[in-house]
Chain A
């Protein structure tokens, strides 16, 4: 015995908004043969994967590895790509498949990041709640020119007596802490962050190439309810995230760019030319992904 089901999807008498939107979505999807170039991991180690294939990959393009792991194209050679892994690379083996996403690495920006712990792609590590981003900005962006930056005119106390007594630290100023191993460089930085609890200073902690235990200690030190104006940008605990990846993510966050509304918009942003791609538009025109934004346009 067979039962005929009602044709709900195509019933025009049904006035359901979700159904109407779904019908439009389905109608927009072109069902045609799909052709895509794929890359193969030739070798992987130390958070870097050498990938063959993908002739139309762009510099800094986000790449998807098997298992949904992500990376980005750091170097483009004539027959291979040097890709930095942004996720745990232990499960990625030689021969596994890599596909291009057609997008560059972008991270969420905005005050919604305050109080959160995120990985280099802006994915939350502290809880399942997504980061409420004001916008998504490419990590690779030019730093503001000197003339565009605010003058350093306001002092900033670190709360460490010996530092405040000996050095004049201003807001927006860069300072470098140099020292031998295990001499307390991180402690100075973390103490300075904690001492800003009664100020409006926004603190960003970036863990680069540190041991998981050290990162965990810092998170426990700063993760208090009375320290809301603090962003923690951390590597995924226990993973061998390469130093350069975090460094690049940090470059995307630095200079107050996590708060795009706090400074005037800058004109004349750099546009990455097609020379940064291994296979410029002619070859890509035949690619079904060509309609998606490619390369840097930020």
Chain B
């Protein structure tokens, strides 16, 4: 996967996931200047952070302060973590979901 695509291609997905949260949770997310942790698979450029901030602010209806961390274990993608909400759009999250589905499938079959 191209290095650029490991972050930029997942920004819209994070915004889509954020929109699925209950309204009350969205309203409290990043309110009062509280920062929200954004985890990426690699170091994020200032342009990518700005693109994320714009996409999230459009969904939340208010500006949001991002605290960026890097976790290569994500492989590719982004994850957003606030005190009362988590949005995952990463390969790691997909792999965990696939593993969980296969494990349950094996357990049910047994």
Contacts and interface: CB of A to CB of B under 8 A. Distances in A.
Interface stretch (A110-118, A222-230, A262-270, A280-288): A280-288
Given A25-B105, A33-B89, A35-B87, A283 B17 contact: no
A35 B85 contact: yes
A283 B109 contact: no
B13 interface: yes
A173 B13 CA distance: 61
Interface stretch (B19-27, B46-54, B62-70): B19-27
B16 interface: yes
A34 B101 contact: no
Interface string B74-95: 0000000001111111000110
Q: Tell me the interface secondary structure of chain B in the complex.
A: helix
Interface in B1-53: 13-14, 16-25
A287 B17 CA distance: 10
B109 A26 contact: no
A21 interface: yes
A37 B85 contact: yes
A25 B84 CA distance: 31
A31 interface: yes
Contacts of A25: 101-102, 105
Nearest to B17: A33
In this complex, the interface size class of chain B, counting residues with CB under 8 Å from chain A, is: 20 to 34
A158 interface: no
Given A29-B97, A34-B93, A52 B21 contact: no
Contacts of A28: 101
A173 B31 CA distance: 59
In this complex, the interface size class of chain A, counting residues with CB under 8 Å from chain B, is: 20 to 34
Contact of A21 (B13, B86, B109): B109
A39 interface: yes
Interface string A103-114: 000000000000
B58 interface: no
A279 B23 CA distance: 10
Contacts of B109: 18, 21
Of the candidates B14, B23, B84, B87, the one having the most CB atoms from chain A within 10 angstroms of its own CB is: B84
A188 to B, nearest CB: 43
A255 B48 CA distance: 62
A22 interface: yes
B97 A38 contact: no
A236 interface: no
Given A21-B109, A25-B105, A53-B83, A35 B20 contact: yes
21 contacts: A18-B109, A22-B102, A25-B102, A28-B101, A29-B98, A31-B97, A33-B17, A33-B20, A34-B86, A34-B88, A34-B97, A35-B17, A36-B86, A38-B86, A53-B84, A279-B24, A283-B23, A286-B20, A286-B21, A287-B20, A288-B20
Interface of B: 13-14, 16-25, 83-89, 93-94, 97-98, 101-102, 105, 109
Interface of A: 18, 21-22, 25-26, 28-29, 31-40, 52-56, 279, 283, 286-288
Given A286-B20, A288-B20, 12 more contacts: A29-B97, A33-B20, A34-B88, A34-B93, A35-B17, A35-B20, A35-B87, A37-B25, A38-B85, A39-B84, A52-B84, A55-B25
What are the 6 closest A-B residue pairs judged by CB atoms, nearest first? Answer: A33-B17, A53-B84, A33-B89, A35-B17, A283-B22, A35-B20
